Amino acid sequence: MQIGLVGLPMVGKTTLFNLVTNAGVDTSKYLTGKTETNESTAKVPDRRIDFLSRMYNPKKTTYAQIEFSDVPGLVQGASQGKGVGNQFLDSIRHSDLLIHVVRAFDDPDVIHVEDTIDPVRDVETIYMELLLADMDLVEKRIERIQSAKKVKKEVLAELDVLKKLLEALENEVPLHQLELSEQEQEMLQNYKFFSEKPLIIAVNTDEQQFKNGDYPRKKDLEELAREKNTRLIEICGQAEMEIAELPSEDRELFMEDLNLEELGIDRLTRTAYDYLGLISFFTVGEDEVKAWTIKKETSARKAAGKIHSDLERGFIRAEAINSDDLEQNGTMAKARENGLVRLEGKEYIVKDGDILNIRFNV
């Protein structure tokens, strides 16, 4: 899975990036005008994998992974070249999810491009800039088609759809709200529009706000998030990043002080999985304990295909047990005795936390 971090400049995007990936990229109190994208991979924390790894003591333990991209800040007017422009958005065009980092923290030493703290205004600004970036793409493509000497019939059909998109965007309608036929969607599948992507808002608070559970315009922001059918999470970016950089045995004390049971990466990945409708299943053995990410409602046969296409093609049965059941029983033998290891067919809908052993024949 790929996640792109977006937001105004100086709101804590790189801080959050460091918190989740431990990449240790430098941050600055001043606008830097940097135009490069930071990229790094984070493992998805999962206590079930921790447990399975202790139980099997495998040569290799593989958590699910998320690739994070951290881009420079977008400002109002970025689509017209303000700030450092918006060309860098190309590097997150293929993201499966956007996380919009918005500033709530109060710190006179860190400049705010709009001078005041107003997360609602800033969220609207970024939504608009993403919409304008889509508009730009649609306009350019329309121009290119219209200036071509000879145009194929399929491309003419595409032109009609693009005009429809342009009209929506001009009326500030994000593309995910547009009702398109399957055929139209197919024509557009290579474009990767921003206003079609799922988006989570991460509010970056200071320690005081975080402890009090309050920050400027919180109610309005929650309302806006509901309206836009998105999720809100609160992070305490600076402090959490500093804690994440400590050796694990030293973290607890600082986490307690912030009333934190988990660091941002846990909360973020859980919210993302839930919002995107994703679950995990596991494969276990002496060689490897591994987490696999699938959509909810995936059949055992399709899930097997994630591991290898041969397993999908030659699927016979899946031996399945939920990792919680295994943990409660202590050993696989005991769980088997208690009838918790099931034999499931190809239509079985895989549940979150299932351990699967696929029997196949090719």
204 binds, among Mg ion, ligand GTP, none (CB under 5 to 8 A by kind): ligand GTP
N- to C-terminal Cα distance for the chain? Answer: 30
3-state helix, strand, coil in the chain (%, to 5): 45, 20, 35
Q: Does 9 bind ligand GTP (CB under 6 A)?
A: yes
Phi, psi (rounded to 5 degrees) for 291: -95, 140
Burial of 319 (0-12, 13-18, 19+ CB in 10 A): middle
- Shortest Å, Cβ 270 to ligand GTP: 21
> In the set 3, 4, 6, 14, which binds ligand GTP (CB under 6 A)?
14
Q: Does 336 bind ligand GTP (CB under 6 A)?
A: no
Closer residue to ligand GTP in complex, CB, 76/322: 76
Contacting Mg ion within 8-27 (CB under 5 A)? 13-14
Closer residue to ligand GTP in complex, CB, 113/188: 113
Q: Does 119 bind ligand GTP (CB under 6 A)?
A: no
**Which residue carries 């995107």 as its tokens?**
276
Tell me the window of 27-35, 193-201, 277-285, 297-305 that interacts with ligand GTP (CB under 6 A).
27-35
Closer residue to ligand GTP in complex, CB, 27/230: 27
Phi, psi (rounded to 5 degrees) for 159: -60, -40
Give the DSSP H or E segment for 100: strand 97-103
Closer residue to ligand GTP in complex, CB, 126/356: 126
Closer residue to ligand GTP in complex, CB, 110/258: 110
For ligand GTP, the nearest residue by Cβ is 73
- Shortest Å, Cβ 70 to Mg ion: 6
- Shortest Å, Cβ 208 to ligand GTP: 10
Q: Across the chain, which distance is largest between two alpha carbons, in Å?
A: 73
Give the DSSP H or E segment for 233: strand 231-235
Other Cβ atoms less than 10 A from the Cβ of 136: the count is: 15
320 binds, among ligand GTP, Mg ion, none (CB under 5 to 8 A by kind): none
210 binds, among ligand GTP, Mg ion, none (CB under 5 to 8 A by kind): none
Tell me the window of 3-11, 123-131, 190-198, 260-268 that interacts with ligand GTP (CB under 6 A).
3-11
Phi, psi (rounded to 5 degrees) for 53: -70, -35
Ordered strands of the 354-360 beta sheet: 60-62, 288-295, 278-283, 354-360, 315-322, 342-344
Per DSSP, 62 falls in state: E
Tell me the window of 7-15, 39-47, 58-66, 112-120 that interacts with Mg ion (CB under 5 A).
7-15
Task: State how far the Cα of 309 lies from the Cα of 320, in Å rounded to an integer.
Answer: 19
Tell me the window of 23-31, 46-54, 313-321, 341-349 that interacts with ligand GTP (CB under 6 A).
23-31
Q: Does 206 bind ligand GTP (CB under 6 A)?
A: yes
Q: Does 257 bind ligand GTP (CB under 6 A)?
A: no
**Distances in Å between the alpha carbon of 326 and those of 49, 79, 154, 349, 353?**
12, 53, 54, 19, 10
Q: Are strands 199-204 and 231-235 parallel, antiparallel or unpaired?
A: parallel
Q: Does 11 bind ligand GTP (CB under 6 A)?
A: yes
Q: Are 42 and 21 a contacting pair, CB within 8 Å? A: yes
Instruction: Give contact residues for Mg ion (rule: CB under 5 A).
Output: 13-14
